[in-house]
Amino acid sequence: MPHVLSGRAETPTQSRILSYVRDDGPLSRMELASRLNVSRTTVAAEVGRLVELGLAEDGGPAASRGGRRSSLVDLDAGLRFIGVELGATSMRVAMTDGRLSVLSRATPQRSDIRRGPETVLAEAIVQIRKLLADSGVERPAGIGIGVPGPVDFQAGVPVSPPIMPGWDGYPVRDALSREFGSPVLLDNDVNVMALGEQHNGVARSASDFLFVKIGTGIGCGIVVGRHLYRGADGCAGDIGHIRLDPTGPVCACGNHGCLEAFFGGAALAREAMAAARSGKSATFAGLLAEHGSLTAEHVGAAVAQGDAVALGLVRDGGRRVGSVLANLVSFFNPGLIVIGGGVSGLGHSLLAEVRSVIYRQSLPLATGNLPVVLSELGGDAGVIGAARLISDAVYAAG
């Protein structure tokens, strides 16, 4: 049963109980007492409080081990978290249980972030309300939200986001929190995608890794010692504006030759249009005739049809991404690189090129044990990560 009110863990012991039960499934009180090295009386008291807070519940009798029967402790079955991922041109909203398994998803929306916070957040609120209403949930235990720009994490506001006009300093966190009466956390979209991969994707066992998002923008989530590294001003990982060539195309940021200016969504769409119009690619010409304009997604479609121009675009882009990552590998020596985001739908052609450059150009010591892989979660990475972000805060003590 959903609770009208659910709170946050109040003590370190409560917090550890919730983490154990989240990560390992229902546990007996006896097992918890032993792991925590406290008495069963203490476990009973702390679990009692977690039940009152709407965070835990009785999970039925534990399998007998010959002694006194112990009962299982589980996360409250009514716990619901909401994860929201706002992209430059898309919106995803999902609802999870306490273990962050996705229970339901709103239909992914096309949504232009440039319409400003009031409009976009109003749409997100409609989506969230619908998910809650469909499942009879009155109030989520927490909401996590990712946006495509730098964020002041402490203040819960975007900071000078280049592709989000009107959002600078807008109180996204507090506006959503007021709307739903639930705790809310706001972060950069790439950071929440990295958290998603860490929670339930290919980065589950990685301590230090990079999550590289290639979509409309190109960005990177940095995890150090299993914690997000956000940088001194909250804009760490902004690799889309690493400069490849001072004589390259002009970028949205005002500089020339940034990675994003070569291989972001807009650049890919522009190249595809050019190939369609010049007659270099019959595939692109056909797609243009059919859809009226071309986006980065059509490049994926053309690659799937074996179009040589499209494949060339992906290879060039992969080479450029690879050369940026090769340098970051020398600098950061990560244990894993995960490639995700919309353009990663280009898949294995892209991955092969990225890998080839990294393995050729970085120091052998830094690449000897370095897997470079595609995201396992695909479109769910952001919403699962956003839910993880807020659930960590709800499960953490005071």
Q: Interface residues with its own copies (CB under 8 A)?
A: 150, 159-160, 207-208, 220, 222, 224-225, 229-239, 241-243, 253, 255, 323-324, 326-328, 330-335, 361-366, 368-370
Q: Give whichever of 240 and 345 is closer to its own copies, judged by the CB atom.
A: 240
d(CA 205, CA 203): 6
Question: DSSP assignment of 328-369, as one string?
Answer: HHHHH--SEEEEESGGGGGTHHHHHHHHHHHHHHS-HHHHTT
Q: Give whichever of 37 and 107 is closer to its own copies, judged by the CB atom.
A: 37
**The residue to which tokens 């999902």 are assigned:** 94
- What is the nearest approach in angstroms of its own copies to the Cβ of residue 246? 9
- What is the nearest approach in angstroms of its own copies to the Cβ of residue 69? 38
Q: Give whichever of 103 and 244 is closer to its own copies, judged by the CB atom.
A: 244
- What is the nearest approach in angstroms of its own copies to the Cβ of residue 25? 30
Q: Give whichever of 71 and 333 is closer to its own copies, judged by the CB atom.
A: 333
> Is the Cβ–Cβ distance between 317 and 351 less than 8 Å?
no
Q: Give whichever of 104 and 361 is closer to its own copies, judged by the CB atom.
A: 361
Q: How far apart are the first and last CA of the chain?
A: 25
- What is the nearest approach in angstroms of its own copies to the Cβ of residue 359? 12
> Is the Cβ–Cβ distance between 270 and 278 less than 8 Å?
no
Q: Give whichever of 247 and 369 is closer to its own copies, judged by the CB atom.
A: 369
d(CA 159, CA 155): 10
Q: Three-class SS of residue 134?
A: helix
Q: Which residues of 196-334 form beta strands (DSSP E)?
A: 209-214, 218-224, 227-228
- What is the nearest approach in angstroms of its own copies to the Cβ of residue 312? 19
Long-range pairs of 283-287 with CB within 8 A, sequence gap ≥ 24 = 283/307, 283/309, 283/310, 284/309, 284/310
**How many degrees, rounded to 5, is the angle at CA 106 between CA 121 and CA 21?**
100
**How many degrees, rounded to 5, is the angle at CA 49 between CA 13 and CA 180?**
100
- What is the nearest approach in angstroms of its own copies to the Cβ of residue 242? 4
- What is the nearest approach in angstroms of its own copies to the Cβ of residue 144? 22
Helix (H) or strand (E) holding 146: strand 142-147
Q: Give whichever of 195 and 269 is closer to its own copies, judged by the CB atom.
A: 195
Q: Give whichever of 39 and 160 is closer to its own copies, judged by the CB atom.
A: 160
- What is the nearest approach in angstroms of its own copies to the Cβ of residue 118? 24
